[in-house]
Structure 1
Amino acid sequence: MVQKFSLADLPETIPVFPLPGALLLPRARLPLNIFEPRYLAMLEDTFKTQHRLIGMVQPVPGPEDREQDRLHQIGCAGRVTAMQETEDGRYLVTLQGISRFRILQQEDGFSPYLRARVSWSPFERDLGREEVDESFDRTAFLKVLARYFDTAQLSSDWDSMKEADEELLVNSLSILCPFDPEEKQALLEAPTLTNRRETLVTLMEFALCGGNDEGTVQ
């Protein structure tokens, strides 16, 4: 059973894992393959805490030789709910999305990985019950999705998509679809599930427009 958090349960400082294109959302799951020594140290330290939270955040694109990590201000924290060690020393980890956060300040220290002081209060609704998209038109949504998957040469279990709750469907697709990091950030920062679904459709339609000469997607 997934641990429930209240705003008072969440720590002021968390480790942050900058990973381009890796999107975590509240109540969704994200698998991670951890092998770099600094993130193995992060994982070890995380298991010493009661909350077991890791903050996923998108780096801001820029020169590769830049010394200071520049991060987007908004990320999402997940609790480590599963971990498996491989024979070659890697860890296969599953994060369960808990809440988005805003980075207030990156913390200086001797840790080999990044830590940040964060604010959770703008996203208190993330800790509540799953969201409902009152204006969700599943038939129209799946039509666009089918065209996008066909163009991107992706496959899926369409029977499951027809039955899945709208939050699970929209958030899972936001995580799994091969969008650019900045597009993933837009999905993360969408205020509501309805906004995220609208952004997701816009991104799929944009990809479809770029892949053919038909112009506007109907």
Structure 2
Amino acid sequence: MKHLGDLPDIIPIFPLSGALLLPRGRLPLHVFEPRYLAMVEDCLKTSERLIGMIQPREVPGGEAPRLHAIGCAGRLTGFSETDDGRYMITLTGISRFRLREEVAGFAPYRRVRADWAPFARDRGGAEEDAGFRRAAFLPLLQRFFQARGLSTDWGALEAAGDELLINALSMLCPFGPEDRQALLEAPSLQTRRETLVTLIEFALHSGDGPEEPMQ
């Protein structure tokens, strides 16, 4: 368990639209821009090895994109380098954070002062969802995957714990950036599951006709 005092006040951030990292989730990333190559190299020199994933809000006029208020920090747990100097990394989610302010400096990448306090639960063990009805959820998920032409290992999904299943689907399903932000900001595993079900039902309704709702 990571305690509040173990987490740094200032972290580097990787603003990436559509990318979603959740606590205890794993996010592979392909890094090739010089500023983010520098960020990874600097990150590897720290004891925490944290990078904050956060979604940008696009603004007109070529200004630096504004950022959403909430992101998720991940520990760099996987690293490899390609022959042409790109990095393949994996972040393992540690905790969400609220952006307090951006921090000026000489680094080529952006950094923020992070408020970890609102998300103390993220640093505990895996969450459970007592209201999760897996027998009703999986057929709905199958219809969604069929409609989108997606495939998966259904045996692994059926065997996965509640948090692993819900969070992995939240990270992997093809939702838009604002929908992914809603999944990130869900205050509990139950509310994330309810949001996920709503998004799946809406996608099926809009693409393939009405579906029976699952609460």
TM-score over 0.5 (shorter chain): yes
1:147 partnered with 2:140: no
Report the identity percentage. 59
Q: 1:142 & 1:215 partners in 2: Cα distance?
A: 18
| Among candidates 91, 97, 115, match of residue 95 of structure 1 | 91
Deviations along 1:93-150, one digit per CA (max 9) or x if unpaired, are 0000000000000111211100000100000010001000001100111011001000
Q: Name the SS for the 2:85 alignment partner.
A: coil
Q: 1:29 & 1:112 partners in 2: Cα distance?
A: 25
Other-structure match for 1:17: 14
1:211 partnered with 2:201: no
| Among candidates 186, 193, 197, match of residue 193 of structure 2 | 197
* 2:31 counterpart letter in structure 1: I
Other-structure match for 1:59: 56
CA RMSD of aligned residues (A): 1.0
Q: 2:59 & 2:212 partners in 1: Cα distance?
A: 32
Q: Name the SS for the 1:80 alignment partner.
A: strand
Which runs of no fewer than 5 residues in structure 2 stay unpaired? none
Q: 1:71 & 1:140 partners in 2: Cα distance?
A: 36
Q: Is the CA contact 1:30–1:95 (under 8 Å) kept in the aligned structure 2?
A: yes
1:60 shift after superposition: 1.2
1:30 partnered with 2:57: no
Q: 1:187 & 1:195 partners in 2: Cα distance?
A: 8
Other-structure match for 1:180: 176
State how 1:73-92 maps to structure 2 within 5 Å: 73-92=69-88
1:124 partnered with 2:136: no
Other-structure match for 1:43: 40
Q: Is the CA contact 1:53–1:78 (under 8 Å) kept in the aligned structure 2?
A: yes
Q: Is the CA contact 2:59–2:65 (under 8 Å) kept in the aligned structure 1?
A: no
Q: 1:41 & 1:92 partners in 2: Cα distance?
A: 14
TM-score (norm 2): 0.96
Q: Name the SS for the 1:211 alignment partner.
A: helix
TM-score (norm 1): 0.95
Q: 1:20 & 1:143 partners in 2: Cα distance?
A: 30
Q: 2:158 & 2:205 partners in 1: Cα distance?
A: 25
* 1:91 counterpart letter in structure 2: Y
